[in-house]
């Protein structure tokens, strides 16, 4: 997803997510961009001798414009696990410590249209696989959304929406790849109850529990 920002907001995201910047210089200004692996942050700076131009040319233009460990080189190994990371299983985010945050437990009532759990991590992580177990009372039509939320700009991406839940089954959410979520971003898992319309069952009481397989550097 592309996110166009002014120079001040662009700089704040460099500080939050630590991405490298690239730029193209023309006679009239600079097109500057960077990515955290999910969101492409973009900005334009005019050559008008203003504060933005002076700040960029003084403090940022001389920085390396690419990280060759991340951009521009083909990895020689076939695993989706990034170098330096290990596999980590969890059902919770970080909050004051690894896996000390919100847990992926949803106890749905028939009066709930949806419930959501927000999790975040203290470092960059890569999502590999997941599982979700649903109780036998899960109604047909209940489903899962997974959203990636920027704390300032709201929803900026998704790993999937309207994933229908299957009663009394451990449902795999598998991929051969991995998706990076930078520290500071929020992963929101939202479970919707059935709505009683069309082929949906009536809303019901049910329970769902999630588990994640991620790659991260930290282990304790």
DSSP string, 152-199: TTEEEEEEEEEEE--TTEEEEE--SS-EEE-TT-EEEEEEEPP-SSTT
Following DSSP, what letter does each residue of 75-106 receive, concatenated?
-S---SSPTT-EEEEESB--SSSTT-S-B-EE
pLDDT for position 25: 87
Both 54 and 118 in one domain: the answer is no
- Residue at 66 is within a domain: no
Domain boundary among 15, 44, 59: 59
Find, among 103, 73, 107, 108, the residue nearest to 91 by Cα: 103
- Residue at 186 is within a domain: yes
Assign 121 to helix, strand or coil: coil
pLDDT for position 66: 42
pLDDT for position 15: 74
CATH code of the domain in which 19 resides? 3.30.720.10
Element (H, E) at 136: none
- Residue at 135 is within a domain: yes
pLDDT for position 152: 87
Neighbours of 25 (CB within 10 A): 13
- Residue at 70 is within a domain: no
What is the total residue count of the chain? 220
pLDDT for position 73: 40
As for how many domains the chain has, the answer is: 2
pLDDT for position 115: 98
pLDDT for position 67: 40
Both 188 and 131 in one domain: the answer is yes
**Chain segment 108-130, per-residue pLDDT in tens:** 999 999 999 999 999 999 999 99
Residues of the chain with pLDDT under 70: 37, 62-79, 219-220
- Residue at 131 is within a domain: yes
- Residue at 103 is within a domain: yes
CATH code of the domain in which 125 resides? 2.60.120
pLDDT for position 154: 92
pLDDT for position 46: 94
- Give me the domain span that covers residue 127: 86-216
């Amino acid at each position: 997803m592309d996110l166009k920002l002014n120079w001040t907001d662009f700089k704040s995201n460099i500080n939050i997510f630590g991405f490298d910047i690239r730029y193209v210089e023309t006679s009239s200004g600079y097109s500057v961009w960077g990515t955290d692996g999910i969101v492409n942050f973009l900005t334009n700076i005019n050559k008008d001798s203003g504060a933005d131009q002076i700040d960029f040319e003084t403090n940022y233009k001389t920085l390396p414009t690419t990280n060759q460990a991340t951009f521009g080189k083909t990895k020689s190994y076939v695993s989706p696990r990034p170098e330096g990371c290990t596999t980590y299983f969890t059902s919770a985010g970080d909050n004051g410590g690894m896996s000390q945050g919100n847990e992926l437990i949803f106890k749905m009532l028939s009066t709930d249209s949806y419930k959501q759990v927000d999790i975040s991590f203290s470092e960059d992580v890569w999502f590999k696989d997941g599982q979700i177990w649903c109780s036998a009372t899960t109604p047909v039509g209940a489903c899962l959304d997974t959203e990636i939320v920027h704390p300032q700009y709201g929803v900026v991406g998704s790993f999937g929406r309207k994933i229908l839940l299957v009663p009394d089954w451990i449902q795999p959410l598998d991929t051969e790849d991995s998706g990076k979520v930078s520290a500071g971003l929020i992963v929101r898992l939202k479970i919707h109850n059935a709505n009683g319309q069309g082929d949906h069952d009536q809303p019901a009481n049910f329970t769902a529990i999630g588990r994640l397989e991620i790659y991260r550097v930290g282990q304790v």
